[in-house]
Amino acid sequence: MPGADGWLAMSDDDLLFHIQALPAVHQDDDRLLDVVRSTRHFFLRQEAAKRVIDSDRLKAFAGDRHIGQILARQMHRDADVLYLAQLINDARHLEVRKAAQVQLELLLERLGRK
């Protein structure tokens, strides 16, 4: 990509390979977030979002219909119940609301609150 550097300078195929090759524990959240906030194809942005370890850093992208879905699916702590409920009420995109609703139901069931 002209004018880009680092990971964003890679071709789509190389970038996807690089993202998918990351180990489960890594130190690349900043680079992944560069991809998430970029104008790259939504699939690449979603794949990068899936690999972000600190899901709280994705909350800034809750309004993005592609990243919001990934964020909702990563909510799995007791403290995330209120956030998911808020996301269901506030999200502009149906896909994000649906993902948040499914995740909330799974979380409540796991926590024995249903």
Residue 80 has pLDDT above 90, yes or no: no
Q: Give the tens place of pLDDT for each residue, 35-65.
A: 999 999 999 999 999 999 998 899 999 889 8
Q: What are phi and psi of 53, to 5 degrees?
A: -75, -45
Distance CA 109, CA 102 (A): 11
Q: Please provide the average confidence, as pLDDT, over all residues in the chain.
A: 89
The domain locations on the chain are 1-53, 58-114
User: 3-state DSSP call for residue 27?
Assistant: coil
- How long, in residues, is the chain? 114
Q: How confident is the model at residue 114 (pLDDT cuts 50, 70, 90)?
A: low
Question: What percentage of the chain carries pLDDT values higher than 70?
Answer: 96
- Look at residue 3 in the predicted model and tell me its pLDDT: 47
Q: Residue 7 carries which DSSP code? A: G
Distance CA 83, CA 41 (A): 27
First to last CA, the chain: 49
Residue 24: how many other CB atoms lie within 10 Å = 6
Whole-structure pTM over 0.95, yes or no? no
